[in-house]
């Protein structure tokens, strides 16, 4: 499902359920040693999806550790992203020679919890959500905005090494094309030598009771 939102150079693997009793992969046990059972299951399945995707790139299997902001640490020469929510786990990877970074996110297709809209929007976005709700009322646009910004952050961090808050990007959405653009409101200087990021573009879809979003940064 999420593979339809990504360039053909990306390998994506997803799962809609877990394998009962599946143990963490050797070298990853400590990452979920104190996690509740639901969190442990989604972690184990998502990491398995990631290893399967890496295998399709020719990478040997191994533990996928976490970095300082809990981001997956990929093998040398690989970029990628992982997401999990109730009923869905997915991973996407690509060679660094094909993409500078990528980000994916999945969320249940339902309204955001009460009061959360105001914490994830910047000026202009509440009006955008109202317009979209009036013209396309079957989509939970607040949740889509949330997911889009999550994907934006996941694509941003590997090439900048800096935090990006919900308030640091302004979203525009094309409902007909299933696309979005995030205008970055902070300095986009990169650590990889690429041109500064001023905007990030992505795609979205609603299917199987889920909203999924994806962003890729070209080389």
Whole-angstrom distance, CA of residue 189 vs CA of residue 26: 37
Return the number of other C-beta atoms located less than 10 Å from residue 100's C-beta. Answer: 20
Q: How many angstroms separate the most distant Cα atoms in the chain?
A: 50
Query: What was the pLDDT predicted at 76?
Result: 95
Single out the residue in 99, 132, 152 at which a domain terminates.
Answer: 99
203 and 112 co-located in one domain: yes
User: What pLDDT score was predicted for residue 115?
Assistant: 77
Residue 137 pLDDT: 97
Question: 110 and 95, same structural domain?
Answer: no
One domain, residues 145 and 195: yes
Residue 207: name the closest of 123, 118, 138 by CA.
138
When pLDDT is cut at 50, 70 and 90, the band that residue 116 belongs to is confident
CATH at residue 91:
3.90.470.20
State the residue range of the domain holding 186. Answer: 105-218
pLDDT at 42: 96
Q: 27: phi > 0 → left, psi -120 to 50 → alpha, else beta; which?
A: left
Instruction: Name the burial class of residue 194, with classes exposed (0-12), middle (13-18) and buried (19+) by CB atoms within 10 angstroms of its CB.
Output: middle
Checking if the pLDDT of 21 tops 80, the result is yes
Residue pLDDT, tens place only, 146-195: 999 999 999 999 999 999 999 999 999 999 999 999 999 999 999 988 99
Residue 172: which CATH number?
A: 3.90.470
Q: Which residue has 């994506």 as its token pair?
A: 12
**Last residue of a domain, which of 69, 99, 129?**
99
Integer Cα distance of 35 and 139 in angstroms: 32
Mark whether 85 and 148 lie in a shared domain. Answer: no
Residue 108 pLDDT class (50, 70, 90 cuts): very high
Whether residue 12 is found in the same domain as residue 81: yes
Whether 68 and 112 share a structural domain: no
Percent over 70 (pLDDT), the chain:
100
Segment (H or E) for 193: none
Q: What is the mean pLDDT of residues 138-143?
A: 96
Average pLDDT over the chain reads 95
- Mean pLDDT for 132-158 is 97
Q: Which of 40, 65, 99 is the last residue of a domain?
A: 99
95 and 111: one domain? no
When pLDDT is averaged across residues 18-23 and rounded to a whole number, the result is 94
Cβ-based neighbours of 96, under 8 Å, separated by 6 or more: 77, 78, 79, 219
The predicted structure's pLDDT at residue 61 = 94
CA–CA gap between residue 59 and residue 200 (Å, rounded): 28
pLDDT band at 140 (very low <50, low <70, confident <90, very high): very high
The partner residues of 103 in beta bridges, in order of sequence, read 215
Lowest mean pLDDT among 110-119, 120-129, 189-198: 110-119
**Judgement on whether residues 115 and 183 belong to the same structural domain of the protein:** yes
Report the predicted TM-score, pTM, of the whole model to 2 decimal places: 0.94
The answer to whether residue 117 scores a pLDDT higher than 80 is no
Q: Residue 119: what pLDDT?
A: 87
Structurally, the chain folds into a number of domains equal to 2
**Of 81, 104, 97, 105, which is closest to residue 192 (Cα–Cα)?**
97
Quote the tokens at residue 184. Answer: 């970055």
> What's the CA angle centered on 87, arms 82 and 90, to 5 degrees?
20
pLDDT band at 219; cut points 50, 70, 90:
confident
Q: How confident is the model at residue 56 (pLDDT cuts 50, 70, 90)?
A: very high
Question: Based on the domain organization, do 111 and 179 belong to the same domain?
Answer: yes
């Amino acid at each position: 499902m999420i593979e339809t939102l990504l360039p053909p150079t990306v390998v994506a693997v997803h799962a809609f359920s877990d394998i009962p009793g599946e143990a963490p992969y050797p070298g990853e046990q400590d990452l979920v040693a104190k996690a509740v059972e639901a969190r442990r299951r989604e972690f184990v399945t998502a990491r398995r999806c990631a290893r399967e995707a890496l295998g399709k790139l020719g990478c040997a299997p191994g533990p996928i550790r976490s970095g300082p902001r809990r981001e997956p640490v990929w093998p040398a020469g690989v970029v990628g992203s992982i997401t999990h929510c109730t009923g869905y786990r997915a991973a996407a990877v690509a060679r660094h020679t094909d993409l500078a970074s990528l980000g994916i996110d999945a969320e249940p297709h339902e309204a955001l919890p009460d009061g959360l809209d105001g914490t994830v929007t910047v000026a202009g976005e509440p009006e955008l959500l109202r317009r979209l709700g009036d013209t396309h009322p079957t989509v939970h646009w607040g949740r889509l905005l949330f997911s889009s910004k999550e994907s934006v952050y996941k694509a941003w961090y590997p090439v900048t090494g800096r935090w990006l808050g919900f308030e640091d990007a302004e979203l525009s959405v094309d409902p007909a094309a299933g696309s979005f653009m995030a205008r970055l409101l902070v300095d986009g200087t990169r650590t990889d030598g690429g041109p500064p990021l001023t905007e990030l573009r992505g795609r979205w879809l609603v299917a199987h009771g889920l909203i999924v979003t994806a962003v890729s940064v070209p080389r």
